[in-house]
Structure 1
């Protein structure tokens, strides 16, 4: 491999790289997940007990202490607010895990930067795959809790991959952009941590979109998490079909973001070695 050859930036190069290095991506993602729980007594069991504990706390606090209701026409179940809240939180947690870790991905793997033949572009992909693992566990916990409380779950839960995929593509673009930018601007990591916290409260996680004035709801829709959170609740909690037209539009925007992030990463990666 010629180290001075420009790295390809076309959409086909993006998908070819992921496909060609799929085994490496899965191996890195597996190592990432295992390393988080290595040495603990329960090991990977923590990936299940953490969301289970959070859901139990939310159910107790919001359903039995505050007796909160999500909104009119959403049912009388006292536990529904906790389920709806948890559905929003798992989407935000998925986004925050990838984006918060992105600025340090290259910095924490400087040994790979020195290796000319190592495909650095797979690092954000592996990080995303590890986050997908944790999100799947959270969805299983949520679906199990819904089944236990209601005696059934909606068949639309099977559509959750279709809903989450566009967000994953957009996050991939953010991860490529931030992982490269984090090499040159070390303050990015701290800034992103603050922004993801702000997004938690600026997303319809703790409150429904309908609680906002109609003339302000379009501002909330500028948040990339808003649409996916609403659609996730639709298929997981309320048993509704997703907004197909909205998903198509979101997917197109996400693909553009993903490609732009990939291009930025490929154009700037030649400077990693000099900075590190």
Structure 2
């Protein structure tokens, strides 16, 4: 693992170049440019808020300040988490395929575009979390637990990057993987408490004990942990933090090992 960190550090400049290229190229040619980085999540938030906040109404738990019950804020807290996970996981596939022509001409580690893509996503996530922080300050739902956000985000990044590296390698050989992942992530979105409170599932445990497996979904744990520290202003608990730390570390090690063992031949698949 130490050697892996050295490799990443050695090529930090190249990784940074891939990240910058992705950030600059994302909205290249559009009239509004980087403004879309705010418009897109806000448009998604407005759509889900209309459908699940008014039409198919879900109950909104009271926030940590004892009075806030705003569904769009409750929803946006989870959407930021999901957007980051989704973008890092799927971005690695596109970045590796996109770097294919360059890999066939110049020798450089294939992990550079994948990690660069993840760093580019962090730029978008920083904007979304900054907006979320301002909203929470304005509604006066703020506490020391906000300091836990970087810790949780770091663990989520490790988990998503590890998974993304596995998918990037497999997708390089079998391009159908990208389409399959899109379908599976769509199912995972609704199988996680993003647009609804987790109580809608936990209340069914007595009648359906098998539903307890629901909480072992890492995304469920991540969404609940972020809502704990941002919405409820509560510490997520050592048990949940330990579970997320182990799952994230294992996923990163598995993803990195799998990627490195097959990276030598990846240019042939691209």
Tell me whether the two structures share a fold, i.e. TM-score over 0.5. Answer: yes
What is the DSSP-based 3-state SS (H/G/I as helix, E as strand, rest coil) of the residue aligned with 1:105? Answer: helix
Q: 2: distance between equivalents of 1:50 and 1:44?
A: 10
Counterpart check, 1:246 vs 2:235? no
What is the DSSP-based 3-state SS (H/G/I as helix, E as strand, rest coil) of the residue aligned with 2:264? Answer: helix
Which stretch shifts more, 45-54 or 169-178? 45-54
Q: For 2:163, which of 162, 174, 199 is the aligned residue?
A: 174
Closer/same/farther in 2, CA of residues 85 and 114 from structure 1, 3 Å limit: same
Q: 2: distance between equivalents of 1:107 and 1:157?
A: 37
TM-score, structure 2 as length reference: 0.87
What's the offset of the Cα at 1:197? Answer: 0.6
What's the offset of the Cα at 1:201? Answer: 0.2
Correspondence for 2:250: 256
Correspondence for 2:85: 95
Closer/same/farther in 2, CA of residues 147 and 113 from structure 1, 3 Å limit: same
Matches within 5 A, 1:46-195: 46-56=36-46, 68-71=58-61, 75-79=66-70, 81-115=71-105, 117-148=107-138, 150-195=139-184
What's the offset of the Cα at 1:216? Answer: 4.2
Q: 2: distance between equivalents of 1:78 and 1:226?
A: 21
Q: 2: distance between equivalents of 1:260 and 1:59?
A: 37
Which stretch shifts more, 115-124 or 260-269? 115-124
Work out whether residues 173 and 257 of structure 1, in 8 Å CA contact, stay in contact via their aligned partners in 2. yes
Q: 1: distance between equivalents of 2:52 and 2:190?
A: 17
What's the offset of the Cα at 1:155? Answer: 3.0
Superposition RMSD on alpha carbons, in Å? 2.4
Closer/same/farther in 2, CA of residues 135 and 217 from structure 1, 3 Å limit: farther
Which stretch shifts more, 163-172 or 244-253? 244-253
What is the DSSP-based 3-state SS (H/G/I as helix, E as strand, rest coil) of the residue aligned with 1:207? Answer: coil
Correspondence for 2:200: 211
Work out whether residues 160 and 235 of structure 1, in 8 Å CA contact, stay in contact via their aligned partners in 2. yes
Work out whether residues 63 and 141 of structure 2, in 8 Å CA contact, stay in contact via their aligned partners in 1. no
Q: For 1:196, which of 185, 191, 199 is the aligned residue?
A: 185
What's the offset of the Cα at 1:106? Answer: 2.2
Closer/same/farther in 2, CA of residues 57 and 189 from structure 1, 3 Å limit: closer
What's the offset of the Cα at 1:167? Answer: 1.6
Correspondence for 2:10: 20
